[in-house]
Structure 1
Amino acid sequence: MKVAFFSTRKYDKQFFTKNNAAYNYELEFLEVPLNRHTVPLAKGHDAVCIFVNDQADSQVLEELAQQGVKLVALRCAGFNNVDLKAAAALGIKVVRVPAYSPYSVAEHTLALILTLNRKTHRAYNRVKEGNFALNGLMGFDLHGRTVGLIGLGKIGLVTAAILKGFGCKVLGYDIAQPAEANEIGVELVDLDTLYAQSDIISLHCPLTPQTHHIINSESLNKMKKGVMLINTSRGALIDTKAVIKALKSEKISYLGLDVYEEEADLFFEDKSEYVIQDDVFMRLLSFNNVLITGHQAFFTSDAMQGIVSVTLQNISDFEEGKALKNEVLP
């Protein structure tokens, strides 16, 4: 099997090369993302392996099919960047990594919550400059606060368990209403109740047509004044312009993001020597109560090992004609 990896970084090559010893596939690592301009680079390969910001729309998939590519292997859980109907029509199989380390994203969620609350990032910079004043650094106890989780998959449930350890009351909304939520002590509620009662709201649901901009002007109006909003899931769950208005009106007092709706042109790259042209993103950065990380919640050695292992096994199952347990269907 010859596999072309798009949007790869040093760590991708390191982990996949090491684990490929058990498979002996021909792996080609490309730094460029997959899109309509770069798809010719897949020529001569049996499969492509892509990440969250690669684009596998109908045009890209048609060209992949013409080149003989039979498999699109996502090394991530999300698949909103793949036209699944087009892939099925072209006979291209799509597989993903449905779960790697839910602890990585859940723990990063708590890192954002704690940093925003206790302002440790600001305190760090102050102390480095010899400023030990506490003005402006006051936080609140998480113990006894109400946290609403939208999405109770593996990551949401792990997040809930951690928050229960802090002594939080945890509300949850998920169309599947998993039984594990009750075992953890999550109170299942509707969205309106979650919005109205939560001091902190954290997003852990997939991006679908139903969840696109689930956080918008209408839902924001239903939240408590001074709410903390966290998103470590998918950027387009949030209407960014509506959130900016809510920050200006102080409806939102804390915003923590690891994802951004238009992140494809920003994240995973060093832009420090360039003027960032995204005015909406730069407006977000202007608020001192906003904390943004560059889609790093998944980025632990444990999660990387899980992603690599499942991805290579997905490719192996395809090659050997086995059932694809991680196949994504339209």
Structure 2
Amino acid sequence: MAPSVEQTHGVLVLGEPLETQKEYAQLAKEFKFKKVDCKSREEAIAAVKAAALEGGYDAVLFPFGSQKGPINEELLGPLKGQLKFVTGIGAGYDTVDTKWLESVGAWYCNTPESVSDTTATTAVTLILICLRHATSLMASTKAGQWRGNNVLTPDARGFVVGIIGMGTIGKLVRNKVQALGMKVIYYNRNRLPASEEGGATYVSWEELLAQSQLISVHCPLSPATFHLLGAPEFEKMQDGVMIVNTARGAVIDEKALVEALKSEKISRVGLDVFEEEPKIQPYLLECERAALFPHFGSATVRLHVDTELEGISNFRDWVATGKPKNGVNDPLGKSTL
């Protein structure tokens, strides 16, 4: 079937879809379409150059696992003057030069909805592991020491969780821990409307640091949030505070985190992300009070299909409205970055 009248848009797909071949085939029926299975960044750059020479491609889509390094001018520069839309995979976009895309008039969309619930569940898993000292309980039991030197743990009821970043994932974490009886306070760049707070209490940055028994990180990594938590912030926290991070590793100064763990200023951590992945500070690997996951927060059986479908939905939303709901920048001139 020949493409429809939607020839005003051209779709360049850099990678092979894992679960949504049918949906991508439908795009090929409706739009000018080219799919290149790039095995390396060099192949991706070459594919972009070829598409730019051919002309007519204003949208670039990345299926799951197909991004080869940063999405930036080096990769997409040849499409300058044509490019209007890019969608990647996942909630984070710290490897995307959103400012450059904005400067050439192109949206960048992430896929937050498809990874949000699974990431929130992982965060709550780590919260519970910390709360109930699960790593220590498992270690003593497996070592044949039965209860060993384990002590009574905090109770979930009334336990104060401070959430940094009350976006989609933060709200889901709020709901899940509140169901267990925990109290939620939060800090956000802007306070949520009362109708969206869902029983959580907005506090200042200083109040969040001082009042939280456990802090769960859910903000994106940006120049403003790099090392948002470090030695000065740890000093303002309660003795024995716990930290959970399922956002991006570099939001926390990992070396300072290690020192705070050693001194037991921080009693326990639950980490799914690290500052220099896959490298991890040696002390974290040996510390019984550290629960560590290999950046696996959203990795469930639905991950591939859900993220790819959301990416396609981003594109269709942009075609239909000109302003996609998952846009993280604003080439129309009202950037919030």
Q: TM-score, normalised by structure 2?
A: 0.78
The alignment's C-alpha RMSD in Å is 3.1
Q: CA deviation at 1:241?
A: 1.2
Q: Distance in 1 between matches of 2:264 and 2:195?
A: 32
Distance 1:281 1:191, change over 3 A: same
Q: Specify which of 71, 83, 98 is matched with residue 56 of structure 1.
A: 71
Identity of aligned residues (%): 28
Q: Distance in 2 between matches of 1:69 and 1:136?
A: 61
Distance 1:307 1:313, change over 3 A: same
Q: CA deviation at 1:73?
A: 1.6
Q: Distance in 2 between matches of 1:182 and 1:95?
A: 23
Q: CA deviation at 1:15?
A: 2.1
Given residue 243 of structure 1, which amino acid in structure 2 is its aligned partner?
L
Instruction: Determine if contact 2:140/2:148 at 8 Å carries over to the other structure.
Output: no
Q: TM-score, normalised by structure 1?
A: 0.79
SS in structure 2 opposite 1:297? coil
For 1:323, the equivalent position in structure 2 comes to 322
Q: CA deviation at 1:78?
A: 2.2
Residue 13 (structure 2) pairs with residue 3 (structure 1): yes
Q: Where has structure 1 moved over 6 Å in runs of 4 or more?
A: 50-53
Q: CA deviation at 1:131?
A: 3.0
Larger radius of gyration: 2
Q: Specify which of 89, 92, 112 is matched with residue 126 of structure 2.
A: 112
SS in structure 1 opposite 2:113? coil
Instruction: Determine if contact 2:135/2:290 at 8 Å carries over to the other structure.
Output: no
Pairwise mapping of residues 139-150 of structure 1 onto structure 2 (< 5 A)? 139-150=153-164
Greater mean deviation of Cα atoms: 71-80 or 199-208: 71-80
Pairwise mapping of residues 136-175 of structure 1 onto structure 2 (< 5 A)? 136-138=149-151, 139-175=153-189
For 1:271, the equivalent position in structure 2 comes to none
Unmatched tracts of structure 1, length 5 or more: 267-277
Distance 1:298 1:77, change over 3 A: same
Instruction: Determine if contact 2:135/2:291 at 8 Å carries over to the other structure.
Output: no
Q: CA deviation at 1:69?
A: 6.3
Given residue 188 of structure 2, which amino acid in structure 1 is its aligned partner?
D
Greater mean deviation of Cα atoms: 181-190 or 282-291: 181-190
Distance 1:39 1:106, change over 3 A: same
Q: Distance in 2 between matches of 1:162 and 1:136?
A: 30
Q: Distance in 1 between matches of 2:46 and 2:286?
A: 40
Residue 213 (structure 2) pairs with residue 199 (structure 1): yes
Q: Distance in 2 between matches of 1:141 and 1:256?
A: 17
Q: How many residues align?
A: 305
Residue 138 (structure 2) pairs with residue 135 (structure 1): no
Pairwise mapping of residues 1-330 of structure 1 onto structure 2 (< 5 A)? 1-5=11-15, 13-17=17-21, 19-24=23-28, 26-30=34-38, 32=40, 34=41, 39-40=45-46, 42-45=48-51, 46=57, 47-49=60-62, 54-63=69-78, 65=80, 71-120=85-134, 131=144, 133-138=146-151, 139-179=153-193, 183-263=197-277, 266=278, 278=279, 281-317=281-317, 320=319, 322-325=321-324, 326-327=326-327, 328-329=329-330
Given residue 113 of structure 1, which amino acid in structure 2 is its aligned partner?
I
For 1:274, the equivalent position in structure 2 comes to none
Unmatched tracts of structure 2, length 5 or more: 1-10, 52-56
Distance 1:40 1:69, change over 3 A: farther
Q: CA deviation at 1:187?
A: 1.3
